[in-house]
Amino acid sequence: MLTVGSLSRAELEARLSGAGLVLRTGPFANRIRSDVQPLIDGVALMYADYPVDPEGGFVDFHLDFLRSGGLRRWVRSQVHFAYDGTTPFQPLPLGQAYPMLEWTMNWCVSHRAHGYLIIHAAVLEKHGRAIILPAPPGSGKSTLTAALLGHGWRLLSDEMTLVHLDDAVLVPLPRPVSLKNTSIDIIRAFRPDAVLSRPVEETTKGTIAHLKAPRDSIARAAEPARPACIVFPRWEAGAAIALDPMPKARAFMQVADNSFNYQVLGARGFAALGRLIDASDAYTFRYSNLHEAMALFERLAQGAA
């Protein structure tokens, strides 16, 4: 199988600047074209273990990231994103090209992949039990996810949980984990082995760095997982660790609120989410100490809260 890492830098740049690199992420084929060096650096580091699809196959998303033309090419150069020939976003400074790739890949899935119920949530699996972590920004979801990946958990997704509409099975979409601001140094200290992209400052979300997805998670991207728990995490400085059961009907409403396309799917989304809630225990989770959180999640993986 051809991977990004098996291409030389020259081959990678030739594909990206030519017909495009067809990058396989979970169920999706992304054709990426770019001449922007920071983006190429990010792809080479973060996607080294990902499959490259052959030319001529079906492509889900066509993504072009190109440098400004004219004077802008030389002064405060920017990167422009085009999706299937349209330009849905404002250009960004060149240095933000790699985070822009991640955001736009998320956007493509959340706005187009309506064959799944898509929840704004991380999802990880261990011992055959998948745990979904829906949470708004600032809840510590990605920090917790990055920490768990160093403790034997498989990454299905840091950002988007894909729920199969017919049987509530969870479809992996393992991609780099987005870390913001203080989370970057927290994970560097907690997981010295972690591979992080170069931090990019002054984005709309602050300073951003991405954590490379584990190789095993990428290799198992075609292997779905069964839901076991839905855990709503909240990081709170100095808080004692607490895991409290949550009534299922309330969990349903909160997951629906955290979904990208629940409303779009209508009655099919209602049925799919009902099956997911049926299959899952729901909890609220408060924590301040990552080591304690690791121990508690190990118990959840073993089937004991």
Partner 1 sequence: MWRVTPGQALACREWDGEAVLYNDLSGNTHLLDGAALDLLHALRVRPADAATLAVRLADHFDAGDNDLVSLIDDMLVTLAGLDLIEPC
Q: Catalog residues that contact partner 1 under the rule CB under 8 A.
A: 247-250, 252-253, 256, 262-263, 266-267, 270-271, 274, 277-278
CB of 246 to partner 1, least distance (A): 11
CB of 7 to partner 1, least distance (A): 46
Is the Cβ of residue 218 or residue 255 nearer to partner 1 in the bound state? 255
Is the Cβ of residue 2 or residue 253 nearer to partner 1 in the bound state? 253
Q: Are 146 and 177 in contact (CB under 8 A)?
A: yes
Question: Is residue 58 classed as helix, strand or coil in its secondary structure?
Answer: coil
Is the Cβ of residue 11 or residue 278 nearer to partner 1 in the bound state? 278
Task: Please give the sequence-ordered ranges of beta strands (E in DSSP) within the chain, or none if there are none.
Answer: 21-25, 28-34, 61-67, 78-83, 92-93, 116-126, 129-134, 154-157, 160-164, 170-171, 177-180, 200-203, 206-211, 227-235, 242-245, 281-287
CB of 128 to partner 1, least distance (A): 24
CB of 51 to partner 1, least distance (A): 38
Q: Which residues contact 109 (CB under 8 A, 6 or more apart)?
A: 28, 118, 160, 162, 173
Residue 187's CB is within 10 A of a number of other CB atoms, namely 24
Is the Cβ of residue 217 or residue 259 nearer to partner 1 in the bound state? 259
Token code pair at residue 210 = 């991405």
Is the Cβ of residue 69 or residue 266 nearer to partner 1 in the bound state? 266
3-state secondary structure 192-259: CCCCECCCEEEECCEEEEEECCCHHHHHCCCCCECEEEEEEEEECCCCCCEEEECCHHHHHHHHHHCE
Q: Provide the residue count of the chain.
A: 305
Q: Which residues contact 80 (CB under 8 A, 6 or more apart)?
A: 65, 66, 67, 68, 87, 91
Residue 180: strand pairing partners:
208
CB of 230 to partner 1, least distance (A): 13
CB of 263 to partner 1, least distance (A): 6
Is the Cβ of residue 167 or residue 202 nearer to partner 1 in the bound state? 167
CB of 197 to partner 1, least distance (A): 38
Is the Cβ of residue 147 or residue 272 nearer to partner 1 in the bound state? 272
